[in-house]
A and B are shown apart, each in its own frame.
Chain A
C-alpha cells in the first residue's frame, strides 16, 4: 500500500474518532507535548490511564457488590476517573462520569450500576481504539516520520511509521 494512501487512512481514522466524540481536543494537546526529547509521551500517559482506570473500575464494581454501599467513596473514585479521562481527552468516558457522579450523590444504586456498565463499555472502546494506534512502539522513528510528512500537522503517524520501518528494514529509502 502506498504511503499517501496510508497517510490518508490515518487522518481519516483519527478524524473519525474526534467526530464520533471518542476523543476531544485534549488528546491533541497530549500529542503536541510529544517531541524528539519525549518520543513516548503519549503512549506513557495513555498506558497510565489504562492502568489507573482499570483499577478504579474494579473498585467501583466491588463497591456496588457490598451490602452497604459507600457512595461517598465511590463518588471520589468516579471523580478520579473523570479527571484522568478529561486529561487525556477520552471524551465519552468523561461525560459518563459526570452522570455517574450524579447517581452517587443521589445514592441511586440502579443508576450507578447502569452507569458503571456504560462506563466500562466506553472505556473498552477507547482502549481498543487507542491500542490499535499504538501497535508499534516507535520511539525516535516517530519524530523522523513527523519531519518527512507534509500536509499532516501532527507527529502522530504511527501507521505510516510502521510502513516506513518496513521500508527501512528492507533496505529501501523513504520517499520524500
Chain B
C-alpha cells in the first residue's frame, strides 16, 4: 500500500541525474532482515543501495551528523526509512533532512508495519514523498522508482 505526498516541492535540478544512471538510494532500518529485503528490492529496480541501521548512522552518511568525516559525503537520490527505530525515529530523521538546505530536496519515503492514518498524514505533512506499508513488495518498489524517475526528468 502506498500513500503519496501532494504535488508540492518538485525535485531540484541539482538532484537530477543523467538518464540511464542508477539512482542511489539510502535505506534506513534497524531490522536486519528488512534491510536485506529492501536492498534486494531496490537493486532489482536498478538502484544503487547503501543501508544504514539507524537514523544517526544515516545522518552521518548524509553529512548531517556529528561524526561525519570530511570528504565522505555521498550523493543520494532518495532516502527510504523505517518509521519505528530506537533512538531517532524515521519521522525525526525526515524532519532533520527537510531542515537541511543541502538535502531538503531529496525525496524521503517512510515505511512502517503499522497502518496508522495520523502517522501517515504526519509524515506526508512533514514532506515525505510517500508512505509505504511493510512488508514491501516488488510492485511497491517499482512504483516508487517510477515516481523517482518521473521527478528527475
Which residues of A does B touch, CB under 8 Å?
Answer: 26, 29-30, 32-33, 38, 41, 44-45, 48-49, 52, 76, 79-80, 82-84, 86-89
Contacts and interface: CB of A to CB of B under 8 A. Distances in A.
A interface SS class:
helix
B33 interface: yes
Contact of A87 (B33, B86, B138): B33
B106 to A, nearest CB: 25
Contacts of B86: 76
Interface in B95-118: 113
Interface in B1-46: 30-34, 36-37, 40-41, 44
Nearest to A46: B33
Interface of B: 30-34, 36-37, 40-41, 44, 84, 86, 113, 134-135, 137-138
A83 B113 contact: yes
Given A29-B137, A83-B113, A86-B135, A45 B36 contact: yes
B41 A87 contact: no
Contacts, number: 48
Contacts of A26: 135
Contact of A79 (B32, B36, B84): B84
Contacts of B40: 33, 38, 41
Contacts of B31: 80, 83-84, 87
A106 to B, nearest CB: 18
Contacts of B30: 80
Given A79-B84, A82-B113, A87 B32 contact: no
A20 B86 CA distance: 34
Contact of B135 (A48, A52, A87): A87
Closest 9 CB pairs of A and B: A84-B33, A87-B135, A26-B135, A83-B31, A33-B40, A87-B33, A86-B135, A48-B33, A87-B34
Contacts of B137: 29
B60 to A, nearest CB: 23
Nearest to B86: A76
